[in-house]
Structure 1
Amino acid sequence: SASMDAREMSYAPPPGQAAIVEALKRGDERTFSDLVSEYSPSMLRVARMYVSSRAVAEEVVQEAWLGVISGIGRFEGRASLKTWIFRILTNIAKTRGEREGRSVPFSSVGGREGDGDVAVDPDRFLDAGRWAGHWTSAPSRWSELPEEQLVGGETVSVVEKAIAALPDVQRTVITLRDIEGWSSEEVRNALDLSETNQRVILHRARSKVRAALEGYLDGEQT
């Protein structure tokens, strides 16, 4: 698309990327091993959205890394290496998912009125600015809790369980954005999502996690 072309034309690679790419082209095993360690957990989460089992997802990740090795000579740097790797991954995962009869209809995710899928009112999240997507106020009785409880094992466990219970797409988006710290653009590129769909999916995931956390905190205070 014209917008993608313009974005790629203005793209500036992150510091150190050129050296990593050159090392990969030389067949540097340490550089490749470091990348595998850094990205494979995220790649597995993404692949898991498209295929039926963890075992198949692991095969997809392995195939993607083979694609990275064989294709690095053609990497032109119009997008980040990270984005390029995840595009390879999602293309392979989609093909495997379609072969299995499993597909994720991203285009139909989000935006429908009355689907009952939002657990917390959208007004409780900020829409714009530096803190877009964050809560406008803390969960009920949050201020009454000692700091050690907020970061304690039980509270963390509630959040982890709430995330684990989310649908595949929501779980992956909130994990990439809020736990691994990916930017909105990185998630959109990796998962081939529109800005609107990514925002709605993330809001739904965050709202369910917040609802679970509020329920836990309210129960602790009663």
Structure 2
Amino acid sequence: MDDFADLVGPYRPELLLHCYRLLGSRTDAEDALQETLLAAWRGIDGFEGRSSLRTWLYKIATNRCLNFRRRVPPAPAPSFTPPPSSRSGDVPWLQPFPDDLLPDAAYEMRETVGLAFITSLQRMPPRQAATLILRDVLDYSTAEVAAMLGETPTVVKGLLQRARASRAPAPAAPPPGSPEEVALVDRFAEAFSVRDMPALLSLLTDDAWLSMPPAPHEYHGHQAIAAFLRSSPTWRPDLSLRLTPTRVNTQPAYACRLDDAPAGLLVLTLHGDRIAAMTRFLPDSETAG
């Protein structure tokens, strides 16, 4: 068992990220990874070395995720009456992925870890998403992907074409930790902390979105976002609001506390010198640790 752990240990971080890309939930990704490692342990004696160990593990992980029974959390009941939403979210299982769990190489392709990309993967048919990840993110050949998925190369090419056509473009965000990013998120934190609505809205793109997985409510544009924030307890001046900076999905984020009680995680998606999306993960949608 120790030898097996030493053998597969170096691949655990990237396999966890692979499962997360496919499932969109860190909780489900950790369970799928455990299933993957158990299957690898049971099948290691049959590994004949016709592919690399890494490729063999990715094949197991991919197919475990394709057959995984995703857990869809129930919509939480709000403690206040929110205004009518712009639309209902269709990825309630979405969870953040802490940067300190990311493999070092992930930052070199940070657009493939961002919430926009992860969300677009969840909206694809699973085999399309798997093909896109294996080909465009992990750079496996068409023949290798076909072997992993048990498909023909022709089928894989078709899956990839459709996945690329539906892939959401990555926001043009400033580099992580750059002066541009720091200045923007600092201005956001100041405006949000003191409930300065005009200052906050000036930092948003005209078509900005506010979403709150697993709650279905999503708000589009300044007017809708402002209406929600004004109705939210977070925006009550009599309650103490504290923001602690962190990073998830290679994006700036803030852990929120309201009157010293956990109030979720607020993740910012940047586009140029503005904020294109605010994703508020409610406390029950965050994973432990």
TM-score (normalised: structure 2): 0.35
Q: Name the one with the larger helix percent.
A: 1
TM-score (normalised: structure 1): 0.44
Query: Whose radius of gyration is greater, 1 or 2?
Result: 2
